[in-house]
Structure 1
Amino acid sequence: GPGAVPNMKEILLIGFYQPNESLSRFLFSAQQEFKIPIRYLQEYAALGTGGGIYHFRDQILAWGTEAFFVLNADVCSEFPLNEMRAFHREHGDPDSFLMLGTTANRKQSLNYGCIVANAETHEVLHYVEKPSTFVSELINCGIYLFTPAIFQHIGGVFQRNQRELLLEESSNGWQRAEAIRLEQDIFTALAGRGRLYAYKSEGFWSQIKSAGSAIYASRLYLSSYSQCHPERLAQNRPGGPTIRGNVYIHPTASVDGSAVVSVGRGGGELGGSCNVTIPAEVVILNSIVLPHKELSRSFKNQIIL
C-alpha cells in the first residue's frame, strides 16, 4: 500500500472522466484506509499521460516534490516502488528517470513499448512503442519514477507543438498542443541520452484492458498473497465454507457454511459491501458480480450487472 513508501505526501488521480458520487465515495474510503490525502484532478480533455501530468505540474510540485511516481491505471503489478526508488538513487544522476520493465515473448512484445537497455548500466538506449518487428523482450510496464526535471522535457514538446500549430486555424489548437504521449513523444527522445533507465521487475505484471481481464488480475494478486501474505487468504475452518485454492473473503462478507468458494485453477474474491445473495445449489463460475444482487440461477463466464 502507499503507506509502505516512506515520505509519500499525496496521491493524485488524473483523468478526463466526470467525477461522480461513486468516485467521491471511493476517494473518501481510500483516504480513510491509507491515511494519506488522495485527490482527483479532471482534465478538460484527454491529454495523454505526458499532457496530463504537465497540465497539473503545479499541483504535483506543490509539496516541494523531490520525485514522484506515475502509474498507469490499467495495469496490475506488485508495484515495487521502494525497490525502484533505491535503484534510482544508485543509477544515473539525480535528474534521471526510471521505468519499470518486464519480459515478454517475441510475439507478445509487439503489443507493448519495447526497451533496449545496457546490460551493465541499465540505461535505456532505444525505445519503440508497439514496433512492427521484434525489437526486445523487455517491455514497458507503465510504471515510472520521475523527478521535476521531466517537466522540462515535456514542456519542450508542448512548445514545439505550439509552434507547429501557429499557422493552423483550428479551434482546438491548444488542446492538441497539450496532448502529449509519454511513450512516443518523451521516452523515444530521451533514450540513449543518459537520462532514462530501466528497472526489470521479477514480479507479476499484466494489463487490464477489459472487464474480464480483472479476473486474471485478481488471480495474480491472490497467487502473490499465497506466497507473501498467506494470512490474507481464507482458510478452511469447522462450520465455515469450503475453500479451494486461493480465496479472499472480506471481513464484512457473510458466507454460509454450505458454500464452496473457488474460481477454477486461480482464486476467488469476496469484497466488502458486496451484498450478493446466492441460494443453495446455485453455481457462479469465473464471473464478476456487481454489488447488491440476488442471484436465482447459475452463471458461467459472465459479468453480472
Structure 2
Amino acid sequence: MLKAVILIGGPQKGTRFRPLSFEVPKPLFPVAGVPMLQHHIEACSKLPNMKEILLIGFYQPNEELNRFLTCAQQDFKISIRYLQEYAALGTGGGMYHFRDQILSGGPEAFFIMNADVCSEFPLPEMLDFQKEHGDAYSFVILGTTVLHYVEKPGTFVSDIINCGIYLFTPEIFQHIGAVFQKNQQDLLLYSFEGDEQSNGWHRAEVIRLEQDIFTALAGQGKLFVYKTNRFWSQIKSAGLVPQKHHDISD
C-alpha cells in the first residue's frame, strides 16, 4: 500500500505570487488550465496501490481549498485530506508532526512532493528504481547523481538538482526523530519561560529534509537518486506560470 504527501506550505511562503495569491492560494494557482496541485494528485492517483493523499501545510482552511479537495476526491476516486500545521515546521517537521497519520494503515512506502513543482512525475519509475537499487532502509530522490549532498551550495560541489519529489519508507521517521530529539536536547541547555518556552519547543519541531536529513543519509549510503531527463521545473513566481503552461502543453 502506498501513500503520498504533498507539502503545500502556507501564506507567508507565497509572497512571490502576490498580489494574485491574495485571492487564490499558491497551490491552487492554475497551471495548464487546472490548479497546480491537480497535476500532483492526478499522477499519484494513477498508481495502482495508492490509497491516500495527504496535504500538509499551514494555510487556514478556506472555501477554495475545501472545494478543491471535494472535487479532487470525486474526480480521482481517492481519499485526500488536509493536515494543518500549527506553524511552519519545515519540510521534515510537518511530516514528523503528522507521522501517525502518514503511517496509518501501514504503507510500505510513501511519496513526498513539494507543491510548487511542475513535472511529468515519473512515480512508477521511482518505485521500480527503489526496488532494484535500495531496500526498506533506503530512500530515493528524483534528480541527478548524488556525490555529496549540499542544499543550494554557495560554491560548486556536485551536479545535483533536487527535484523536490522523494520516495520514502517508514524508516525515514527514525532519522527525523533522531534530529527532533537532538533539537530537544539542545533546547534543554537553555532556560525558557512563558512564551519563550513555547517558542523553544516549536523550534525543536522545525526540521528541514534538505539540510537536516539528506546530508547525513548521503554519507551513509542510504540515499539514492533516480536520474531523469524528463520535464521538471519549479514554479517560483507567478511570472513563470505562462511558460509552464507552454512547457506542459508541449
TM more than 0.5: yes
**Corresponding residue number in structure 2 for 1:179:** 206
**Which residue of structure 1 lines up, in the alignment, with residue 187 of structure 2?**
165
Aligned pair partner of 1:133 in 146, 155, 158: 155
The one-character-per-residue Cα deviations of 1:99-122 (angstroms, maximum 9, x if unpaired) are 0005xxxxxxxxxxxxxx4xxxxx
CA distance in 2, matches of 1:135, 1:222: 34
Query: 1:259 corresponds to which residue?
Result: none
3-state SS in 1 of match to 2:164: strand
Aligned to 2:53: 11
Alignment of 1:48-127 (within 5 A): 48-102=90-144, 117=145, 124-127=146-149
Unaligned runs of 5+ in 1: 103-116, 118-123, 224-305
Report deviation, 1:92: 2.1
Aligned counterparts of 2:45 and 2:210: Cα–Cα separation in 1: 29
Counterpart code for 1:17? Y
**Aligned residue type for 2:93:** G
Structure with larger Rg: 1
- Quick one: which of 67, 81, 84 aligns to 1:25? 67
For the 8 Å contact 1:157–1:180, the answer to whether it is kept is yes
Return the letter of the residue paired with 2:70.
Answer: F
Q: Which stretch of structure 1 is more off in the superposition, 26-35 or 214-223? A: 214-223
Paired residues for 1:250-265 under 5 Å: none
SS at match of 1:32: helix
In the alignment, structure 1 residue 212 sits paired with structure 2 residue 239:
yes
Contact 2:148–2:157 (CA under 8 A) maintained in structure 1: no
Q: How far apart, in 1, do the equivalents of 2:141 and 2:128 lie?
A: 13
| 3-state SS, counterpart of residue 161 of structure 2 | strand
Per the TM alignment, residue 56 of structure 1 is displaced from its structure 2 partner at its CA by: 0.3
User: In the alignment, is residue 151 of structure 1 matched against residue 173 of structure 2?
Assistant: yes
Count of paired positions: 203
- 1:213 deviates by 1.5
Paired with 1:140 and 1:208, the residues of 2 have a C-alpha distance of 14
**Matched residue SS, 1:127:** coil
- CA shift at 1:192, angstroms? 2.2
User: Which range moves more in the overlay, 202-211 or 77-86?
Assistant: 202-211
Q: What's the CA shift for 1:209?
A: 1.2
More helix per residue: 2
Q: 1:142 aligns with which of 158, 161, 164?
A: 164
Task: Quote the Cα distance in structure 2 between the aligned partners of 1:45 and 1:158.
Answer: 16
**Alpha-carbon shift at residue 182 of structure 1 (Å):** 0.1
Other-structure match for 1:243: none
Note the alpha carbon deviations across 1:108-141, whole angstroms, 9 max, x for none.
xxxxxxxxx4xxxxxx441001111112223100
Structure 2 unpaired stretches of 5+: 1-41
Question: Which secondary structure does the structure 1 equivalent of 2:51 belong to?
Answer: coil
**Structure 1 outlier segments of 4+, above 4 Å:** none
SS in 2 for 1:38: strand
The structure with the greater share of residues assigned to strand is 1
CA distance in 1, matches of 2:189, 2:219: 33
For residue 17 of structure 1, report the CA deviation from its aligned partner. Answer: 0.8
**What's 2:27 paired with?**
none
Q: Distance in 1 between matches of 2:248 and 2:147?
A: 32
**Conserved 8 A contact 1:92-1:194:** no
Query: Is the Cα contact below 8 Å between 1:9 and 1:63 reproduced in 2?
Result: no
